[in-house]
Amino acid sequence: MIFRLENIKYKGILNIDDLQIPAYMVTCLTGESGAGKTSLLRLLNRMDDPDSGSIYYQDQLLDEFNPIELRRKVTMLSQAPFSLPGTIEENLQIGLELTEREKKDKEELVKALETVQLQKSLDESAENLSGGEKQRLALARLLLLNPEVYLLDEPTSALDEEAELTVMGRFLEKVKREKGTVIMITHSKQLADMCAEQRIVLKKAKESDY
Ligand X SMILES: Nc1ncnc2c1ncn2[C@@H]1O[C@H](COP(=O)(O)OP(=O)(O)OP(=O)(O)O)[C@@H](O)[C@H]1O
Residues that bind ligand X (CB under 6 A): 11, 13, 31, 33-39
Smallest separation, CB 39 to ligand X (Å)? 3
Distant-in-sequence, close-in-space partners of 31: CB < 8 Å, separation ≥ 6: 37, 200, 201, 202, 203, 204
Which residue lies nearer to ligand X by CB, 38 or 93?
Answer: 38
- What phi-psi label fits residue 190: left (phi over 0), alpha (psi between -120 and 50 degrees) or beta? alpha
- DSSP H/E element including 88: helix 88-98
Minimum distance, C-beta of residue 31 to ligand X, in the bound complex (Å)? 6
Name the amino acid, one letter, at 105: D
Compute the least distance from the CB of residue 35 to ligand X, in Å: 4
- In the complex with ligand X, the residue whose CB is nearer, 121 or 198, is 198
Q: Which is nearer to ligand X, 36 or 81 (CB)?
A: 36
CB of 22 to ligand X, least distance (A): 21
Nearer to ligand X, 11 or 73 (CB): 11
Q: What is the DSSP letter of 25?
A: S
SS3 140: helix
